[in-house]
Amino acid sequence: MADTKKTQHEFFRQTVKEAVERMKPELHAASEAAHQLFDETEAEEDQADFERTVELGYVVDRLTNFCGPNLAVLYELACALDEFHGTDEQEPERPQRSQPRRH
């Protein structure tokens, strides 16, 4: 039974990764559009820091009601966007949960 659950878990995890992979062109387009939108603001470093702080606040505000599975999807999306910007940071090891929290 444990093998079946593990196989099912891996299947669903792979399904999420494949769905995000299919979204990459649209994510790239959205990222480019967002960068164009904020390019003028980025001209002044203090203003750019302020804008990042405000945007982070919006993200955190929206995350308060996310369940674990949706946070996992968001994580995959963030990783896909990170690939576009070519950071060399290693993806952190994700702890495995036996049961995702349901809302």
d(CA 73, CA 13): 9
CB 20: neighbour CB atoms within 10 A? Answer: 19
- Indicate if the pLDDT at residue 103 is higher than 50: no
- Indicate if the pLDDT at residue 101 is higher than 60: no
* DSSP state letter for 102: P
- Among candidate residues 102, 101, 98, the one with its CA nearest the CA of residue 6: 98
Q: Are 97 and 68 in contact (CB under 8 A)?
A: yes
User: According to the 3-state scheme, what is the secondary structure of 35-101?
Assistant: HHHHHHHHCCHHHHHHHHHHHHHHHHHHHCCCCHHHHHHHHHHHHHHHHHCCCCCCCCCCCCCCCCC
- Indicate if the pLDDT at residue 90 is higher than 70: no
Domain edges within the chain: 2-84
pLDDT score, position 91: 55
- pLDDT confidence tier of residue 69, bands split at 50, 70 and 90: confident
- pLDDT confidence tier of residue 85, bands split at 50, 70 and 90: confident
pLDDT score, position 1: 65
Residue-wise pLDDT tens digits, 24-63 = 999 999 988 888 877 765 566 777 788 888 888 998 898 8
